[in-house]
A and B are shown apart, each in its own frame.
Chain A
């Protein structure tokens, strides 16, 4: 079983739709949860960063973490064609030798068409 599982998609939605991206994980030591966005032939860029359980909102983006279910989600409201990219969930432990070492999901390819 992979430590982090992410639905690879691809996902195709019309402009203005609400997008839901999800990851499950098996390692209880994960404390930091991130969503990265990666445009074609570019490096990943941090989109959202959450510590432990809870919700975090930033504009059209909302990240949710449910540690009891080992499940994280990213919601995109009013999706735009510029949101078309690969979305990667990533996780890491709290500190010590785990610090900064990210475990990634497989990535979900999202296309928002006008």
Chain B
């Protein structure tokens, strides 16, 4: 099993550009999450999904969009990149069995200039 796979690993965007951060998991997990991590700030929840076709906002959703058309994939879309979106983005998934751990991807390091 590959676990949670994120692409790309690194990206530099210009202000106003758009991009999609990809996330895929092969563990058949229903629950998937996008977090961003700023230096010294821990991780903050952007969006989450409890299953295909169901998504909801987290703590810091502004400037982002998500979709969940399959159980495996949970892409995060940035429509108009801003310098405030410079961060490291982590995708995570968890099964619906209570007490199991959340698995994280390796992260996408995004710089907006």
With a cutoff of 8 Å between Cβ atoms, the chain B residues found around residue A44 in the complex are 43, 90, 104
**Bound Cα distance A36, B104 (Å):** 11
Q: How many B residues touch A, CB cutoff 8 Å?
A: 27
Interface string of B29-53 (1 = CB under 8 A from A): 0010101000011111100101000
Neighbour of B90 across the interface among A43, A90, A100, A106, CB < 8 A = A43
Q: How many A residues touch B, CB cutoff 8 Å?
A: 26
How many contacts A-B (CB < 8 Å)? 60
With a cutoff of 8 Å between Cβ atoms, the chain A residues found around residue B94 in the complex are 100
Question: Which B residues are closer than 8 A to A by beta carbons?
Answer: 4, 31, 33, 35, 40-45, 48, 50, 56, 58, 90, 92, 94, 96, 98-99, 101-102, 104-107, 109
